[in-house]
Amino acid sequence: MKKIKLSELIAPSFYELHNDIKNNRYTHYWLKGGRGSTKSSFISIEIILGIMKNPGTHAVALRKVGINLKDSVYEQLLWAIDKLGVSDYWIARLSPLELIYAPTGQRIIFRGADKPKKIKSIKVKSGYIRYVWYEEVDEFNGMEEIRIINQSLLRGGSKFDVFYSFNPPDSQRNWVNNEVTIKYPDRKVHHSTYLTVPKEWLGEQFFIEAEHLKKVNEKAYRHEYLGEVTGTGGEVFTNVTKREITDEEIARFDRIKRGIDFGYAVDPFAYVVCHYDKTRRRLYIFYEIYKVGLSNRKAARLIKQENTSNKLIVADSAEPKSIAELKEYGLRIKGAKKGPDSVDYGIKFLQDLEEIIIDPKRCPNTAREFLNYELEKDKEGNFKANYPDKNNHSIDAVRYALEDDMRNSGLKILK
């Protein structure tokens, strides 16, 4: 058997964890982190080594949905077998999906938690199941489900190693993010990122992509690549930057758009002015009128103070009388060409921009709406599929303002 240096397979951030496992310090190992952190690679190496060093032990690898097993944990364990140079000692089967250590008959069994009875029915002829791996553990329904599975698997042995791997969800309220904050004497929580992984393992392009995202959307970078919990998970716009937009910048803007969302008694009248940099896919929002109880006559007067050249405004077409009235007051205005998919289409367009820059002093209400706009939850605590139709008046005004750009963006056209 070829001698392999583990330092060539395990990133430095896992050295201490490897020693913990080697010295039987814990039972449950929770490994969280961002893209490219190699946590799954580390677990696969530990399981293959563990089975080969400990006769009479077996392993079970789990995903919430069984159909995902082959292309994830199964392939990952095959990778570990290959990298350790022990392929001649292992038998790989596809039906049923399993890996067998030929010298002893020890097995790695694969199961999906979408069929709990198949997990309860797992039996090994001799020895016991020492190693359990929950890949993408955040996909499971919570600790109650996992405890039931562990009660079925962790029997008949003196030492167990249970691995839980996941990329932390956005929301701190997610059960798995809360779970890893609880300290138990037999639990080790480990966080890793790509920054401690040798560059040649991931390839130069991986680092290029990471650095690009860091520049254009730091929040998304911190979540995706650093594995940080950056929000509730229900935020609709993760590409918003609050900063001052200077007079010098505004003087250079040459693609200025204007939109109106009507309101009066309860909902505010919202007028928004923005500049869309199509080349860099950046939106600058730098002027707003946002007021409850504002008549159309007063609104027209305020708009004329900003829109001195009387450039075209796109407004909510659901208010044809208000549009007609503003025309009588001398504004160039037209109704938006809304369709049944216009809200989803418009929000997707805004989400896909590299950056939405909002001046919080000039546009405090618009900044508040974009930053606080979140999906709502149902009675079971799951996010609803539809975008909420409240606290989105400036957002709607921006959608109307950018209507023509959206239609020419290459996204699926509105019906």
Dist. CA 368–CA 155, nearest whole Å: 53
**pLDDT of amino acid 410:** 60
Q: What is the mean pLDDT of residues 5-27?
A: 95
Instruction: Give the bridge partners for 101, in sequence order.
Output: 90, 106
Assess whether pLDDT exceeds 70 at residue 412.
Answer: no
Express each pLDDT in 378-394 by its tens digit.
888 788 888 999 999 99
* Confidence label for 411 from pLDDT (cuts 50, 70 and 90): low
**pLDDT of amino acid 415:** 32
Amino acid letter for position 279: T
* Confidence label for 114 from pLDDT (cuts 50, 70 and 90): confident
Assess whether pLDDT exceeds 90 at residue 414.
Answer: no
**What's this model's pTM, rounded to 2 decimal places?**
0.62
Dist. CA 110–CA 44, nearest whole Å: 13
Q: Which of 5-9, 47-51, 70-74 shows the lowest mean pLDDT across its residues? A: 5-9
SS3 content of the chain, % helix, strand, coil (to 5): 40, 25, 40
Express each pLDDT in 184-233 by its tens digit.
999 999 999 999 999 999 999 999 999 999 999 998 999 999 999 887 77
**C-beta pairs of 405-408 under 8 Å, 24+ apart in sequence:** 405/257, 405/276, 405/278, 405/349, 406/345, 406/346, 406/349
**pLDDT > 90: what percent of the chain?**
78
Instruction: State the residue for tokens 């080349």.
Output: 279
Which CATH superfamily includes the segment(s) 6-205? Answer: P-loop containing nucleotide triphosphate hydrolases (3.40.50.300)
**pLDDT of amino acid 37:** 97
**Active site annotation includes 248:** no
Express each pLDDT in 119-132 by its tens digit.
887 889 899 999 99
What CATH number has the domain spanning 240-407? 3.30.420.280
Q: What is the mean pLDDT of residues 47-64?
A: 97
* Confidence label for 413 from pLDDT (cuts 50, 70 and 90): very low
> Quick one: 130 exposed, middle or buried, by C-beta within 10 A (0-12, 13-18, 19+)?
buried
Q: Say how many C-beta atoms besides its own lie within 10 A of residue 159's C-beta.
A: 11
Express each pLDDT in 290-304 by its tens digit.
999 999 999 999 999
**pLDDT of amino acid 1:** 57
Q: What is the mean pLDDT of residues 135-150?
A: 92
Catalytic residue among 135, 136, 235, 288: 136
Assess whether pLDDT exceeds 70 at residue 172.
Answer: no
**C-beta pairs of 177-185 under 8 Å, 24+ apart in sequence:** 177/229, 179/30, 179/143, 180/30, 180/32, 184/28
**pLDDT of amino acid 2:** 63
What residue spans define the domains of the chain?
6-205, 240-407
Of 155, 410, 131, give the one whose Cα is nearest residue 278: 410
